[in-house]
Each structure stands twice: as C-alpha cells, then as structure tokens.
Amino acid sequence: MNLSFRASVLHSVNSPLRTETVEVTGLAARDVLVRVRAAGLCHTDLEVIEGSLRQPMPIVLGHEAAGVVEAVGPEAQGVAVGDHVVLSWNPHCGHCFYCDQSLPILCETYLANTPAALAFDGRPRARLAAGGDLHQLMYLGAFGEYCVVQDQQAVPVPKEMPFAQAALIGCGVMTGVGAALNVAQVRPGNSVMVIGCGAVGLSAIQGARLGGAETIIAVDLQDSRLAAAQAMGATALVNPASQDAAGTARDLTAGRGVDVVLESAGNQRAFRLTVEAVRPGGQVIWLGKTDVDAEVAFRWGSLMQEKRIRRSSYGDARPMRDFPFLCRAYLEGRLDLDGMITQQIGLDQINQGFAALKAGETIRSVVSLDG
C-alpha cells in the first residue's frame, strides 16, 4: 500500500504548522488506517507548539479525532473497514504491572514509547514526501487526511454520530465526564465544583450532572464560559475576578466545602483553590496541568483533614466501554457536545485556530475534513 495525503506538520517550536504531503507505505499486523473526518484542537497540542511539552520534530499533532476505517492489518481485531471510529490516545499492552493493576494510563510500554512520538511499537508509520520520518503526537497524529493507529485505538461508534462531535469524545469529553463518573464517582446529592470551563471543564460539569450532583459550582474568569456552564448543568456560577470561590463553596454547603472539586484550568491559582474549596474528607481531582518543571505552593492547613488529591489524565477511560456510552448520551440528548464547538475550520486554517485557542476565544475548534 502506498498512500499520499495532506497533513499539518510542525517542524520547530513556536513556528506555524505547514500543510505538506506525507506518505504511508504499509500497515503492520495490527494497524488500522483511518480516514480522518474531524479533529479537535486541544491545549496539549498547543503545549507542543509552544515548547512546554517537549516532543521530537517534525511531528503531526492532533490526538482528539474521529473518522472512518479505510484498511486494516492482517491481525487487526475488533474493527472493520467502513466502521466509524473515535480514536483513543492511550494504547496499552494489557499485561504489564500497571495494566494488571487496571491502570492502562500507566502502561509500561505506553510510557516508555511516548517520548519517541511514534506508533505503539516504537516505529514510524509516515514519512514526509520530501524525505524523512514523521513523528505522531500521542500515538495518533490526527491533523491530516489519514492516520495510522493500532486496532485498540480505533473504537467503533454509531454511524449516526456526527464526526465533529464524535471527535471531542476522544480526549476532552472523555477526560471531563470520566473524571466525574469514573474517578470521583459523583453520586446523587453530591456537591461539586468545577474550576475552568473549557471543553474538559464543561464535560466535567455534564459528568457531575449525569452522576446526579445536586450542587454544581462552575468557576471561570470568562463570563461567556460561565454562561455555557450554566446551559450544561451548573447550578451556581463564580467569576473569581470579583467573587470568592472558596467562600461560595462553603456558603452553599452549610460551611463544609464541596464534596468534589474537579480542576481543569491548569494554573497555580486554580490548583490552590481546589484544596481550599473542598470539604474535610472530600476529593480533589486535578485534570489541568502546568509546565512539568513548575512549582506550585499550598497553604499547609488547606491540605489537612483527610482530603484526597488525585491527578487524572484520561478520566479512567475504558474506551471500548466509554466511547459508545458517550455517543449514546449525545444521541439521546443527555450530553451537549454541540455547545462546545465554537467553530469548524479547514486544515489550512489550523494556525488561526490555535491562535484563537491561545487567546481564549474558543472552547473547541474542530478541523473538518470533508469527502
């Protein structure tokens, strides 16, 4: 198989992505060739562009995507040509120490091969037409007309599911909803605070609502995002530029603080707020992130009283179970994905899309590839 197609390639930090011709020359035994129909622009991609997430170059970014299976390797399982799929960025071996502990996000093969930014077996799958191997972010590299993934990464979903909305499930939605339902295990009657109302935060709000939370406090510096949060289930809104978020948490919970705080803003002030707003014995789930070498300071007293703090990268995702569930929730009107899509753009507009993301002007821009 020889296939040439267009993809957006990043050659160096803080430089524009360039749409170039790339090539795939064959599929390994468990590979799946996916014709990408939609891919979301995520902050993790922006971190690579800006250099706070170090990755080898040249690289095709994009790790939140949906498309149609075009071809499969001879040993691929669970997926067939013609399937509509949402892509997962967390392939795992299934038998290492961490996989045996039901922690696929810490799979030893996954973590060992991630810095190379290639396929799950550590080998490249695509090349520049002009010569030279290409790297692919998070085992995907979805900012192109096609990408090659391992079979377990291509999760079949209902064909009624629109591609742009389906793409969001692969990262932001799974992370946020999963944090509420799988990690925090929000229950009916709980009180929840969500800090940061981008795509992950809005998904966490909806996850808290699906879990039956009675009080859902949304915290964001942008009033437009707070309005979106209210539309998706938040019962109280706080702009910390003019309001005391931790005080609001106590006021709405008889002085205790909330049962669960889900943080998705990714800054030092937000991290500190999480432990000030949660009640004694409550849960803090950190979803956002800052530079890996940054230091974050806390008031020691805020960490006391049996508070439980956990970092989660993918909402304890089990893609084969969770992706179809999230699609059904959307199709049944229980999960709002339409309200997260600020704009749909073409591949050649991707740099403008990232500029808008950096400026905080969008919740999600989605690259749509028609055809």
For 128, which DSSP code?
E
Spatial neighbors of 138 by CB under 8 A, at least 6 apart, are: 44, 63, 89, 114, 117
pLDDT tens per residue across span 175-234:
999 999 999 999 999 999 999 999 999 999 999 999 999 999 999 999 999 999 999 999
pLDDT tens per residue across span 334-343:
999 999 999 9
Say if residue 356 is in the same domain as residue 217. no
181 within some domain: yes
pLDDT tens per residue across span 226-235:
999 999 999 9
The pLDDT value given to residue 24: 93
CATH number of the structural domain spanning residue 295: 3.40.50.720
Boundary residue ending a domain (293, 311, 329): 311
Say if residue 148 is in the same domain as residue 261. no
Say if residue 117 is in the same domain as residue 30. yes
321 within some domain: no
Domain extent for 364: 3-156+337-368
The pLDDT value given to residue 198: 95
Say if residue 130 is in the same domain as residue 60. yes
Rounded mean pLDDT, 290-311: 92
Say if residue 98 is in the same domain as residue 206. no
pLDDT range class, residue 298, cuts 50, 70, 90: very high
Backbone φ and ψ of 304, nearest 5° = -85, 180
The pLDDT value given to residue 15: 96
327 within some domain: no
Say if residue 37 is in the same domain as residue 139. yes
161 within some domain: no
200 within some domain: yes
Contact call for residues 247 and 135 (beta carbons, < 8 A)? no
Q: Is the pLDDT of residue 356 over 90?
A: yes
Q: Rounded to two decimals, what is the model's pTM? A: 0.95
Say if residue 293 is in the same domain as residue 363. no
* Number of structural domains the chain divides into: 2
pLDDT tens per residue across span 85-118:
999 999 999 999 999 999 999 999 999 999 999 9
41 within some domain: yes
Say if residue 182 is in the same domain as residue 305. yes
Say if residue 266 is in the same domain as residue 307. yes
328 within some domain: no
Say if residue 207 is in the same domain as residue 127. no
Say if residue 142 is in the same domain as residue 274. no
- Count how many Cα atoms sit within 13 Å of the Cα of residue 138 in the half-sphere of its side chain: 23
CATH number of the structural domain spanning residue 77: 3.90.180.10
109 within some domain: yes
Say if residue 186 is in the same domain as residue 250. yes
pLDDT range class, residue 371, cuts 50, 70, 90: low
pLDDT tens per residue across span 21-75:
999 988 999 999 999 999 999 999 999 999 989 999 999 999 999 999 999 999 9
- Over 147-189, what HEC string results? EEEEHHHEEECCCCCCHHHHHHHHHHHHHHHHHHHHHCCCCCC
